[in-house]
Amino acid sequence: MRIWSLHPAYLDRQGLVACWRESLLAQKVLAGLTRGYTHHPQLARFRVLDDPLAGIGAYLRGLLDEAGLRGYRFDATRITKPDEAVALTVTRGQLDLETAHLLAKLMERSPDRVAGLPAPPDVLPHPLFTVVPGPAADWERARP
């Protein structure tokens, strides 16, 4: 499961669809509707919120908006709490790590999208996140 901190505009078609599906699974986990993935490290940032479902809902909303811009039809009714005002932070180190991870994926499956990926210091976060200085997140399992 990869819940990208990067802006969804950088994801290729496969990445955006996979992120949508995996984030819907994360929503189920946070709602207590599944026994799998309950200890997945990427869910830690949502669990610290007063309302984790609002957090993942805001995240899913960002994916839904990007899908709409591309002409995809994701089902908005699958988001439990799509319109809650939530804000999270992400470190620059986390964004840099994810940028390198995404770059490797794009080079393999969508090389035409590589040119659209900015240099790490210019990469924007998902609209849910505000960038703060710091290293990769403690919960991150992938390492540079």
CB within 8 A of 73, min separation 6: which ones?
67
Residue 143's pLDDT is 64
Integer CA distances (angstroms), 22 to 52, 73, 126, in order? 16, 17, 15
Residues 98-107 as b or e (16 or more Cβ within 10 Å = b):
bbebbeebbe
- Give the residue-averaged pLDDT of 71-100: 94
pLDDT digits (tens, 9 = 90+) for 29-65: 999 998 888 889 999 999 999 999 999 999 999 999 9
- Give the residue-averaged pLDDT of 67-90: 94
**Residue 136 scores a pLDDT above 90:** yes
pLDDT over 90 percentage in the chain = 81
C-alpha to C-alpha distance for 120 and 6, rounded to whole angstroms? 10
pLDDT digits (tens, 9 = 90+) for 101-110: 999 999 999 9
Q: Give the total residue count for the chain.
A: 144
